[in-house]
Chain A
Amino acid sequence: MMKDDNVGKILFGWTSFIRKFVLRVLRVGPIPSHIAVIMDGNRRYAKKKKLDEGAGHDAGAFALLCLLVNCYELGVKYLSAYAFSIDNFRRKPNEVQKIMDLLRESITLLTRIAKHLPVRVHFAGNLALLSADLRDAALRLMEATAGYSKFVFTICVCYTYSDEIIHAVQESCQEKCNHIQEIRGIDACGHQDENLIKLADIEKHMYMAIAPDPDILIRTGDEYRLSNYLLWQTSCTQLSSLSTLWPEFSIWHLVWVVLNFQLNNPYLEKKKMQL
């Protein structure tokens, strides 16, 4: 038993060394500032391993945690994950409840992690659709980690681009209305012909305004669509589609994606400059 423990420790040590060494090699080239992920394939993973559907989501959460650690060590500054779409409310109630319970556990875990790593946690989406206790827990975690700036972890929950843009437009309209009322009086509100709402107004009210546009968006599960995720922010983003299922996403997949990013970086930087 003791021998097995020692062997396990040595193997873990070596794996950790190789992992850190590979990340150090990658840092010779340009590192993406912001990586976004669509974590597809949890249910198929559970089916493949003959597990309960919930176990697939648990494995997916673990894979996300590993990615967070790897990104932090690589020098990535922003990581965003599509945890729950507004469209996902159409799933079976017990699956939705499982994901909400997992979110609750993740908030507890992240609260503990934030005591050791300066990770700012942000929840992006229509949080009004969450239950009150979950929403409060999320807001508390955001407040507790608001002072950290080295690494920002955004969990997109109750999010779709459609909802995000409509919310941003509505917020912009509200802001402009208040502005008109203050400057020109309440009666002036109904008589505006100029285009008061600018692009910058909309962008500052997006849920994802906390982070710059992603450099890479990874989707697992061999799917080629964005499913209403970060459509506004991905004009100059490398879209990477991997056939692996999300719980099987490992550091080697991250290495592959970052190497491809380094290959395409001169082209994508040129496109960003043209904006």
Chain B
Amino acid sequence: MDFKKETRMLYRWIARIGNLLLRLLWHLLHVIINLCHFTLGIANALESHLISWGILGRYKSLHVAKLRYLAIVVESEEAYQISNIIELLQWLAAVGIKYVCLYDREGILKKSKDFILEKLDGAILFKEAHENNVLLDQTHMTLEFASFSDGKETMAKAANVLFKKYLKSGATDKIQEEQIFTESQMAEALKTVGSGGPEPDLLLIYGPARCHLGFPAWRLRYTEIVHMGSLKSMKYGLLIKAIYRFTTVRQNYGS
């Protein structure tokens, strides 16, 4: 009996030592991955400086005509850094970007939109331009502000628009037989409920992780998504690199 008890204790000790070794190895793996990210961070910072100083020739001339609509997703806690947002928009204006959609989950940027518009010379709000049927102004930047409520909840509202339309048409039998809603009808319904912004060509994410945080899904279908790191440590050179990379991408759209 003692022998069995001692054997059980021995196995328990072996298991504990085994678990400890596994934990140590796991921490070691994480030290390695953190070192990798640190090294990548240094390399990115160096590359950013080289781009900013104009040393890397290929970034000197950007063909931004291909980039008609740009969206920026900002982690909401970082969205309070309005001065950084304004600086980022000024960089984009200098490069020649005419349309920017600013998104943060909690709507912090929406609340600060008047302040941001005031600080950017001549920038106009997308909603006003759209309501007044004014063509997107080619000399000034058009800004759109979005938040989480413009995503899934807006889709539910659009669904109700389509539903009411169908009930009124009286074709409620057909609803069971075939697909009756089309993509263009959905797009129209979304426009009706205020989510009629264009699909961005490029989405830049400023935050701790590469995650779009609920940006309106209908508008992300073929959007290039780039993670830029934290807004606090944003770099002009990396912005240029992201835009340059976008201009070289060729999409097949599935074919």
- Among A87, A169, A268, point to the contact of B209 (Cβ < 8 A): A268
A189 to B22, CA, bound (A): 63
Residue pair A231, B208 in contact (C-beta under 8 Å):
no
CB proximity of B193 to chain A, nearest CB, Å: 11
* A259 CB within 8 Å of chain B: yes
B166: nearest chain-A partner, CB-CB:
A173
Given A25-B22, A224-B224, A237-B211, answer yes or no on A232-B156 (Cβ-Cβ < 8 Å).
Answer: no
> Which of the candidate stretches A4-12, A58-66, A194-202 sits at the interface with the other chain?
A194-202
Residue pair B159, A173 in contact (C-beta under 8 Å):
yes
A65 to B227, CA, bound (A): 30
A159 to B17, CA, bound (A): 48
A199 to B26, CA, bound (A): 40
CB proximity of B238 to chain A, nearest CB, Å: 14
Residue pair B225, A225 in contact (C-beta under 8 Å):
yes
CB proximity of B26 to chain A, nearest CB, Å: 4
* B45 CB within 8 Å of chain A: no
* B128 CB within 8 Å of chain A: no
- Among B186, B210, B217, point to the contact of A240 (Cβ < 8 A): B210
- Among A165, A228, A267, point to the contact of B208 (Cβ < 8 A): A267
Residue pair A166, B26 in contact (C-beta under 8 Å):
no
Given A28-B22, A169-B159, answer yes or no on A235-B183 (Cβ-Cβ < 8 Å).
Answer: no
A-B contact count (CB 8 A): 162
Residue pair B214, A235 in contact (C-beta under 8 Å):
yes
A227 to B163, CA, bound (A): 28
A267 to B33, CA, bound (A): 17
A199: nearest chain-B partner, CB-CB:
B156
Residue pair B22, A88 in contact (C-beta under 8 Å):
no
Given A161-B221, A226-B221, A260-B33, answer yes or no on A267-B182 (Cβ-Cβ < 8 Å).
Answer: no
Residue pair B26, A167 in contact (C-beta under 8 Å):
no
A87: nearest chain-B partner, CB-CB:
B254
B151: which A residues are within 8 A, CB to CB? Answer: 235
A160 to B221, CA, bound (A): 9
* B29 CB within 8 Å of chain A: yes
Residue pair B224, A25 in contact (C-beta under 8 Å):
no
Residue pair B221, A231 in contact (C-beta under 8 Å):
yes
Given A25-B22, A173-B175, A197-B160, answer yes or no on A231-B217 (Cβ-Cβ < 8 Å).
Answer: yes
B220: which A residues are within 8 A, CB to CB? Answer: 226, 231
* A234 CB within 8 Å of chain B: yes
* A108 CB within 8 Å of chain B: no
B166: which A residues are within 8 A, CB to CB? Answer: 173, 177
Residue pair A238, B157 in contact (C-beta under 8 Å):
no
* A262 CB within 8 Å of chain B: yes
B159: which A residues are within 8 A, CB to CB? Answer: 169, 172-173, 197, 202
Residue pair B210, A239 in contact (C-beta under 8 Å):
yes
A89 to B225, CA, bound (A): 25
Question: Which residues of A, 203-225, contact B by the 8 Å Cβ criterion?
Answer: 223-225
CB proximity of B160 to chain A, nearest CB, Å: 4
Residue pair A177, B175 in contact (C-beta under 8 Å):
yes
B-contact 0/1 string along A61-86, CB 8 Å cutoff: 00000000000000000000000011
A167 to B160, CA, bound (A): 14
Residue pair A165, B218 in contact (C-beta under 8 Å):
yes
A sample of 14 cross-chain residue pairs with beta-carbon separation below 8 angstroms, ordered by A number, consists of: A26-B29, A28-B22, A28-B25, A90-B255, A165-B155, A169-B163, A170-B180, A189-B167, A190-B167, A224-B224, A225-B251, A232-B217, A236-B211, A271-B213
Give 5 nearest A-B pairs by CB, closest first.
Answer: A87-B254, A231-B217, A90-B255, A28-B26, A235-B214
Extra pairs beyond A167-B179, A228-B222 (7, CB < 8 Å): A25-B25, A25-B26, A90-B255, A162-B186, A165-B186, A234-B211, A267-B208
User: Interface of A with B (CB < 8 Å)?
Assistant: 24-26, 28-29, 85-88, 90-91, 160-162, 165-167, 169-170, 172-174, 176-177, 181, 189-193, 195-199, 202, 223-228, 231-232, 234-241, 255-256, 259-260, 262-264, 267-268, 271, 274
